[in-house]
Amino acid sequence: MAKRTKAPAAEPKAPPMPGFISPQLATLKMNAPSGSRWIHEIKYDGYRIQLRIDGDDRRAYTRNGYNWVSRFSRIAGAFDIEGQAIVDGEVVVIHEGRTNFSELQADLGRGDQDRLVYFAFDLLWLDGRDLRKEPQIERKRLLKELIDEHRVEEPVLYGEHHEGDGQALFAAARRLNYEGIVSKRVDAPYRSDRVEAWQKVKVIQKGKFPVVGFVKDPSGVAALYLGKREGKNLVYMGKVGTGWSRTTSAQIRKALDTVVSPKQKLTKTIRKPEATWVEPKFYADIEYRDITSEAFSGQARSRA
């Protein structure tokens, strides 16, 4: 009777390349951690973008999973590698020495890509290998190796990290008027969630902005619309709705009622159906962490 030979074991199949991976998000903290278990990166003021590269198929996913590769085609094309990769990073515009979200929004609104820069700071997938379970420091090492070996150049930049005292880096970021820092556990995997393994500390900024309108409430103001003078132009900056007491709210309303205008004074008009527009005679002192095209994030202290 012939002996039955054992068939050779089949090669394990490589897992299929995922599509969009929901991003890992940092938890906001008051102070940065320190010690050998942490690395620290400058917090970029831009759009979180996940580059998915599968040969000639290039995609650029926003943090909500929208493919914006047409807006970031120059960056996607610059990541000139063979095979597969999923890279996590941030698209920014550098203006006056630091990343500037307002300038980024303006460039995207015009369809301009010349000033866009992509800081790559994490690697989630490489040539059939899911790297999300690998330690943070190993993912960064593989990302740096990938960029160097393929000589990937601007507008793609490797997101450098720093070791040691997180508070010292945060103090330097504050002096340079950066948005803040992100601290990351060196041994942590990548999880699609808001986690303690990534911690962000934001710089609180201050500014004085002309009040261009307000939203009424029964006893005072519910919100202020603020502008900014840029040369001869008065441009809209955002809305604030916190940071004052009921007594102060009534005082602000009394002052603003004296300068009510039948139309807005912004150089480029905006649509705000609830707004009562005013002459920009009064200013609000604002402490904030972020400015988007719609609102300030932070506390408002008004001297109106």
Q: What is the CATH number of the domain that holds 184?
A: 3.30.470.30
212 and 190, same domain (yes or no): no
pLDDT tens-place string over residues 258-289: 999 999 999 999 999 999 999 999 998 887 66
Residue 18 within a domain:
no
Per-residue pLDDT at 303: 47
42 and 186, same domain (yes or no): yes
Per-residue pLDDT at 98: 85
Per-residue pLDDT at 113: 97
155 and 110, same domain (yes or no): yes
Residue 79 within a domain:
yes
**Average pLDDT over the chain, rounded to an integer:** 89
* CATH code where residue 275 lies: 2.40.50.140
Per-residue pLDDT at 134: 98
Domain termination site, one of 182, 202, 222: 202
Residue 69 within a domain:
yes
Per-residue pLDDT at 5: 59
Residue 12 within a domain:
no
pTM higher than 0.85: no
Residue 7 within a domain:
no
Q: Rounded mean pLDDT of 92-103?
A: 88
96 and 191, same domain (yes or no): yes
- pLDDT > 60? residue 116: yes
pLDDT tens-place string over residues 69-96: 999 999 999 999 989 999 999 999 998 8
188 and 76, same domain (yes or no): yes
177 and 250, same domain (yes or no): no
116 and 34, same domain (yes or no): yes
Per-residue pLDDT at 157: 97
Per-residue pLDDT at 302: 47
195 and 293, same domain (yes or no): no
Q: What count of other Cβ atoms lies within 10 Å of the Cβ of residue 113?
A: 15
What is the pLDDT confidence band of residue 4, given thresholds at 50, 70 and 90? low
88 and 146, same domain (yes or no): yes
59 and 153, same domain (yes or no): yes
What is the pLDDT confidence band of residue 255, given thresholds at 50, 70 and 90? very high
Q: Rounded mean pLDDT of 33-42?
A: 94
Residue 259 within a domain:
yes
The beta-strand segments (E) located in the chain are: 25-28, 34-42, 47-54, 57-62, 84-95, 98-99, 116-126, 129-130, 156-158, 162-165, 180-185, 194-202, 205-217, 220-230, 233-240, 276-277, 283-291, 296-302
More confident of the two residues 12 and 38: 38
Per-residue pLDDT at 219: 85
Residue 6 within a domain:
no
Q: What domain range is 291 assigned to? A: 205-302
Instruction: Name every residue whose Cβ is closer than 8 Å to that of residue 221 and which is 6 or more positions away in sequence.
Output: 214, 215, 249, 252, 253, 256
Q: Rounded mean pLDDT of 28-45?
A: 93
pLDDT tens-place string over residues 154-183: 999 999 999 989 999 999 988 888 889 999
231 and 260, same domain (yes or no): yes
CA angle 270, 207, 284 (to 5 degrees): 65
Residue 96 within a domain:
yes
Percentage of the chain surpassing pLDDT 90?
A: 70
Domain termination site, one of 177, 202, 227: 202
The number of domains in the chain is 2
- pLDDT > 80? residue 14: no
Render 149-171 in DSSP notation, one character per residue: HTT--TTEEE---EEEEHHHHHH
Domain termination site, one of 150, 183, 202: 202
156 and 191, same domain (yes or no): yes
Percentage of the chain surpassing pLDDT 70?
A: 90
H or E, element range at 15: none
